[in-house]
Amino acid sequence: MSNPKLIVSSSPHIRDVDTIPRIMHTVNLSLLPAVLMAVYYFGFYALMIILTCVIFSVLTEAIWQKLRGKEITISDGSAILTGLLLALTLPPRLPLWMAALGAIVAISIGKQVFGGLGYNPFNPALVGRAFLLAAFSVEMTTWYLPGAGVDATSTATPLALMKMSGQPTSYWDLFIGNIGGSLGETSALAIILGGAYLIYKGYVDYRITIGYLGTVAVLTAVFGQDPIFHLLSGGLVLGGFYMLTDMVTSPITKLGRWIYGIGAGVILVVIRLWGGYPEGVLYSILLMNMTVPLLNRYTRPRTYGEVKQ
């Protein structure tokens, strides 16, 4: 038998079917319920914001990669995800050019300056949102009730209502999203649906989500607040399932993930209860992002057979 031309490489010779694009596109798809709810509550303009963010994220990524002479990898779905997540944190009537600017900043400063996918220390979508919040604080905190017409008067978010005037919102409205707020932070139901799917797929580690949400629930209860209200309001659910759990910017060890989730929960509660600002998701996540290298270093798992000294 003649010797055929064979490929030689080191083991293993088989690989799992999952790839980075597959993961990213699955996460994108899991956001569909949230996107649909946003459009349902806030109308066609919500869709325009979402599309603007996605398109500008993808374009920005392509331009950066072109300029740096790198392979253009926009088909991997990660830029789409950044755009989607950013859009879901924006208020329903934000001018489109601001949304576009947010997307450009998210990809440029949040991701590409560090070298692109996998190298960014912060969640890019939240970098974009942080920029917009600082630059356009009025537009970024002008809220409308779902279903309100074009000339509707603005409202406050449930958290602001509670903080400023002690006025509660019904659990049911919070749960299904019939409240004032960002596009994706309104319907807890839609986010939990998508998030649960990601946990099932193993794309999200429950330790982070449970650590985060659980800490918020426990601490708010300890300080005499309504934990269910706090869980369902603001961007906590979106942050807990989609932002804090971002693979690139969260710890790689299991213990690290617990500490990371719990730490973010503590920061959030401090901001919400004693800060001058009604919401704390953004800063709790960005601040914990900074701790990840340290967490990875100090939460190394015990190696099999290793005796603790």
Tell me which residues touch other proteins (CB under 8 A).
Answer: 1, 3-4, 6-16, 18-20, 22-23, 73, 76, 115-119, 202-203, 247-254, 296, 300-307
Question: First vs last Cα of the chain: how many Å apart?
Answer: 58
CA-CA distance, 187 to 36, in Å (whole number)?
A: 10
Neighbours of 121 (CB within 10 A): 14
Least distance CB 227 / other proteins (angstroms) = 30
Angle at 15 between CA 10 and CA 18, to 5 degrees: 145
The Cα 119–Cα 115 span in angstroms is 6
SS3 content of the chain, % helix, strand, coil (to 5): 60, 0, 35
Distance CA 59, CA 80 (A): 10
Taking the complex as a whole, the smallest distance from the CB of residue 86 to other proteins amounts, in Å, to 18
Nearest-approach distance from CB 45 to other proteins, in angstroms: 33
Which residue number, 4 or 166, has a Cβ lying nearer to other proteins?
Answer: 4
CB-wise, 18 or 135, nearer to other proteins? Answer: 18
Minimal distance, residue 70 CB to other proteins, in Å: 11
Nearest distance in Å: CB 71, other proteins: 10
Q: Is the Cβ–Cβ distance between 102 and 55 less than 8 Å? A: no
- Whether 35 and 194 have beta carbons less than 8 Å apart is answered as no
Q: Please, which residue, 16 or 151, has the CB nearer to other proteins? A: 16
* Residue 22 or 266 with smaller CB distance to other proteins: 22
Task: Output the six-digit token pair for 31.
Answer: 């956001």
Say if residues 36 and 44 touch (Cβ distance below 8 Å).
Answer: no
For the CB of residue 225, give the shortest distance to other proteins in the complex, in Å: 34
Nearest residue (CB) to other proteins, 68 versus 300: 300
Task: Tell me how far apart the alpha carbons of residues 207 and 199 are, in angstroms, rounded to a whole number.
Answer: 10
Q: Which is nearer to other proteins, 118 or 147 (by Cβ)?
A: 118
